[in-house]
Structure 1
Amino acid sequence: MSDVEEPELPRGIALAWGVAANPQRGPKREMSVERIVDAAVEIADAEGLGAVSMAAVASRLGYTPMSLYRYVSAKDDLVLLMQEEATGLPSEESRGAGGWRAQLEALYHEQVQAYLRHPWVLEVPIRGIPSTPNSAAWMDAGLRAMSDTPLTHDERLAVLLIVTGAARWTGIVLASYARLERERGMGEHDITRYEDALFRSLITADAFPALREAIDAGAFLDESDPFSFGLERSLDGVAAYIDAVTEGRRPERAPWQGLDDAEIADDKRYREAQKAVREAEKSLRDAHRMLRQTAREARDRRSRQRGDG
């Protein structure tokens, strides 16, 4: 049992779950939270999240902004409800796609497509654990996909973070390229060839040997899906972990490190060690720069010697 009192639901979350009190009065019966959210989503789909305001939504519906505030009391609540609407629900096909891995891959692809339909969702700040019905449904679907595995509940959540994180990153990149295609009037392959040519003109083997090698190998013209490849290799690791747990060899997990060592940030010796690391990293960068410069000069001397000979 928990001693924490049940929290009072914020207005936006209460609206999402359908447990918020209805407004005492409104301009017309035709007005509703659902109509307000639909109008806001239409604006965001057409013009981006920045174009959404209470005034813009009210104008689209033919009401005054004050009329909307009786139903949605703050723009943050409206954005939360818009995100909920755009997120939708996972399909029955993804829920029954096969084993745990097939289901997670299906959920990943559906999430990516949702981001591409509503790319403005990617601009909504992350404010903690998803707490609306549709977002909870996606989490539930991912966790249910792993219900027959020997993973603990916290391990299943960690795997789900891999999948949702991969979907979000894929959505960010693909949505950005889709916007580039519209703005430049170029097709996907045109942009790919342009970027490859740009890289070839800027990246030298002396300064960036590994990157130049990848360019020369045609890596940036490859038409395979790098995002799916990354997810598949991550799930390979999960599968290997599941096999180890099944055989009674549960690997020891590292403790949570957080984003920073805030508890010891004011320790003098710790700060001195951090400073030493930064100085060492700078010295290493300088050494690499010197190495590249020396290599160029050596090649120039070798070239002149061959010319003189």
Structure 2
Amino acid sequence: MTADSPAEPELPRGVALAWGVVVNPQRGPKRELSIERIVEAAVGIADAEGLGAVSMSRVAQSLGYTTMSLYRYITGKDDLVLLMQEAASVLPIPDSGIERDWRTGLTAWVAAVRGAYAEHPWLVDIPVSGAPVTPNALAIVDWFLREARDLPLTDGEKISTLLLLTSYIRATGAQERDIAAAAGSDADGAQQPGAGAFAALAELVTPERFPDLAPVFLGGDYLADGEPDTADDTVFGIERILDGIEYHVARLADGRPTPAPLVPPPSLALPRDRAVREAAKARREAEKALREAQKREREAVKRALEKDREDRRRADERGARDAERAARDAERQAERAGRG
């Protein structure tokens, strides 16, 4: 290569490790240690304790080696996390000879991706930094495109559909993980909303204040006793996304025009002059004042309820004392009558 020749493209080290194309991988003196063992140990720690528990020193300790021994194989935590993500992205991809309609195929694809998130909940904690570039991740994309092959969409629209589904799976996966973790950390149910919480909130969620929420709330469909069925909620959402794709395909087949984008193009954005900035600032201040007023209202309602409960308690105590005093008076009168 001459001095004027362009440099050959080079993959980042972590990506190159995932592809197995590192030219001269750094090897330590202990041949029994390997990248595969390091990644497997890291995945085990993340599965048990979460991604935050993974560090080069923690993985080295779990394997019985020094931290520097790991750096001879993997140069840093970022590369380790990328390799962990790649290891957790091995899906049961079906044989390419299977014939089925696009909706059945995409449903199977979604189920497999959801399964990976369920098996490795820490995947949702890895920031999305760009398009997939590792072999297992690209195999997932390739599988999706195979199932979407017969959809009358452009390549760009198919990738947009992929992003829509993966974003929804990732978001609901995080929700399911967090709800399960909250339930697991509250074994006695002290923090979970149940009958007690429902009874307390029923006094606050009134038709006057929440005209559309109150019937749902009082009907029992808002706060469920026990763990919420997030899996059913997720499936419902996925089915509606697929319904939307099916509707879009039917609209294309019928020759109906596609609706205009919901977001205006930048050329139609409001001018950012001084008057607009001042109006936006005034709106933010008004929203802040509204939130503060709502907070004061909630506090006032809470104090009123507490006062009402305290007044009822005192009234009950007075009634009990009066009843007890009347009973004693009746006993004394009976005793005097008996002696007379």
User: Which TM class, normalised by the smaller chain length?
Assistant: 0.7 to 0.9
Corresponding residue for residue 237 of structure 1: 244
Contact 2:186 2:192 in 1 (8 A): no
Matched, 1:48 2:66: no
Contact 2:43 2:84 in 1 (8 A): yes
The higher relative CO (CA closer than 8 Å, separation ≥ 6) is in 1
| Deviations 1:163-185 (CA, angstroms, capped at 9, x unpaired) | 11121122111111221232122
| Deviations 1:109-135 (CA, angstroms, capped at 9, x unpaired) | 222221121111111111111221111
Contact 2:55 2:77 in 1 (8 A): yes
Q: Distance in 1 between matches of 2:95 and 2:283?
A: 51
| Paired letter, 2:240 | R
Q: Distance in 1 between matches of 2:95 and 2:211?
A: 45
In the TM superposition, residue 143 of structure 1 has moved relative to its aligned partner by 1.7
Q: Distance in 2 between matches of 1:164 and 1:95?
A: 24
1:271 alignment partner, one of 269, 274, 277: 277
**Which stretches in structure 2 are left out of the alignment for 5+ residues?**
1-5, 299-340
Q: Distance in 2 between matches of 1:287 and 1:192?
A: 27
Greater Rg by CA: 2
Q: Tell me the secondary structure at the aligned position of residue 206 of structure 1.
A: coil
CA gap 1:199/1:122 in 2 versus in 1, 3 angstroms: farther
CA gap 1:7/1:22 in 2 versus in 1, 3 angstroms: closer
Q: Distance in 1 between matches of 2:159 and 2:131?
A: 11
CA gap 1:168/1:31 in 2 versus in 1, 3 angstroms: same
Q: Tell me the secondary structure at the aligned position of residue 256 of structure 2.
A: coil
Corresponding residue for residue 146 of structure 1: 148
Range 138-147 or range 88-97, more displaced: 88-97
Contact 2:91 2:112 in 1 (8 A): no
CA gap 1:84/1:24 in 2 versus in 1, 3 angstroms: closer
Corresponding residue for residue 261 of structure 2: 254
Q: How many residues align?
A: 285
Corresponding residue for residue 176 of structure 1: 178
TM-score normalized with structure 2 length: 0.71
Q: Tell me the secondary structure at the aligned position of residue 185 of structure 2.
A: helix
CA gap 1:17/1:266 in 2 versus in 1, 3 angstroms: farther
In the TM superposition, residue 21 of structure 1 has moved relative to its aligned partner by 2.8
TM-score normalized with structure 1 length: 0.78
Q: CA RMSD in A?
A: 3.7
In the TM superposition, residue 237 of structure 1 has moved relative to its aligned partner by 1.4
Range 121-130 or range 83-92, more displaced: 83-92
Q: Distance in 1 between matches of 2:221 and 2:96?
A: 31
Q: Distance in 2 between matches of 1:197 and 1:93?
A: 53
Corresponding residue for residue 28 of structure 1: 30
CA gap 1:267/1:129 in 2 versus in 1, 3 angstroms: farther
| Paired letter, 2:249 | I
In the TM superposition, residue 33 of structure 1 has moved relative to its aligned partner by 0.8
Contact 2:91 2:116 in 1 (8 A): no
Q: In the TM superposition, what are the counterparts of 1:61-210 in structure 2 within 5 Å?
A: 61-92=63-94, 96=98, 98-185=100-187, 191=192, 193=194, 199-200=201-202, 202-210=204-212
1:228 alignment partner, one of 226, 235, 254: 235
In the TM superposition, residue 77 of structure 1 has moved relative to its aligned partner by 0.4
Q: Tell me the secondary structure at the aligned position of residue 92 of structure 1.
A: coil
Give the percent of matched residue pairs that are identical in Structure 1 and Structure 2: 47
